[in-house]
C-alpha cells in the first residue's frame, strides 16, 4: 500500500507528460514507498519540495532559462527517503 501511495503522484505526472518525469523515477518512488510504508508518501512530497527549491535556487545563476532546464529527480527522491527514514 505504501508503494502505491508513494508512486501515485509521480505516475500521474509521467502519464500526463512522459518527457516530464521518467519511468525510473516512478519505479524508484514505488520502491521507496514499499520500503518506508506510509512514510514513503512523505518522502516523495519532501523530494518534490527539495526539487522545486533546487530549481528556484538556480534562477539567479542561470536566469529564466533555469526554469525550463531538465532536472534529475532521483537524487531528490533519495534525499527525501533518507529524511523520512530519519524522522519515521
Three-class DSSP category at 58? helix
Sign of CA dihedral 35, 6, 55, 66: positive
pTM for this prediction: 0.85
Q: What is the pLDDT of residues 15-59, one digit of tens each?
A: 998 888 888 999 999 999 999 988 998 999 999 999 999 888 888
Q: What is the pLDDT of residues 61-84, one digit of tens each?
A: 888 787 788 889 999 999 999 999
CA distance readout (Å), 41 to 15, 22, 45: 19, 18, 6
Three-class DSSP category at 76? helix
Q: Helix/strand/coil (H, E, C) string of 4-56? A: HHHHHHHHHHHHHCCCCCCHHHHHHHHHHHHHHCCHHHHHHHHHHHHHHHHHH
Amino acid at each position: 500500500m505504501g508503494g502505491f501511495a508513494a508512486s501515485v503522484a509521480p505516475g500521474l505526472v509521467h502519464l500526463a507528460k512522459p518527457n516530464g518525469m521518467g519511468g525510473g523515477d516512478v519505479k524508484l518512488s514505488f520502491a521507496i514507498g514499499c520500503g518506508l510504508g506510509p512514510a514513503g508518501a512523505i518522502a516523495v512530497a519532501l523530494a518534490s519540495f527539495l526539487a522545486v527549491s533546487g530549481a528556484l535556487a538556480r534562477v539567479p545563476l542561470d536566469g529564466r532559462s533555469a526554469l525550463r532546464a531538465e532536472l534529475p529527480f532521483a537524487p531528490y527522491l533519495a534525499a527525501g527517503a533518507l529524511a523520512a527514514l530519519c524522522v519515521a
